[in-house]
Amino acid sequence: MQFASASAYRINNGDMIGFSSQVSRLQSGSALADIDVSTQEGAQRTITIVDQALNYLNQQASELGATQTRIQVSVVNDQSSATNMQSAQSTVQDASIAQATSQLTKYQILQQAGISTLAQENALQQAYLKLLPSG
């Protein structure tokens, strides 16, 4: 009876998570067809083979569980990174909008002050013209 496994998983962020195990021969020449429980020696040999198989399967289940945990942690980290990036982008956009609004208000005030100054200058010129004798 032989068990073999070799696998690797690639996660989006580039981390390599995987496990591999060598081909394992549980007992030299052991196979399900060779199991003989009619004698105490055969039964003991069968128990040994089954114990080895169960140990191997438990080891593989443990490796799969560890791999699953690493994948889940990687997914949580990726989700956290995505949330942080969205938050940072929103903060930058909010800051840019606030800055642009402030600049717009500043330039509108300067424009209104300029228009007011021109209006006063025109009024002064009209007053000077009225002071001149017409002739």
**pTM (2 d.p.):** 0.45
Q: Is the separation of the CB atoms in 13 and 3 below 8 Å?
A: no
Q: Does 83 reside within a domain? A: yes
Q: Measured between alpha carbons, how far is 73 from 79 in angstroms, rounded to an integer?
A: 10
Q: Does 131 reside within a domain? A: no
Q: What is the pLDDT of residues 24-81, one digit of tens each?
A: 444 445 566 667 788 899 889 888 888 998 999 999 999 999 999 999 999 999 999 9
Q: Measured between alpha carbons, how far is 15 from 72 in angstroms, rounded to an integer?
A: 12
Q: Does 98 reside within a domain? A: no
Q: Measured between alpha carbons, how far is 80 from 15 in angstroms, rounded to an integer?
A: 16
Range of the domain at 32: 2-87
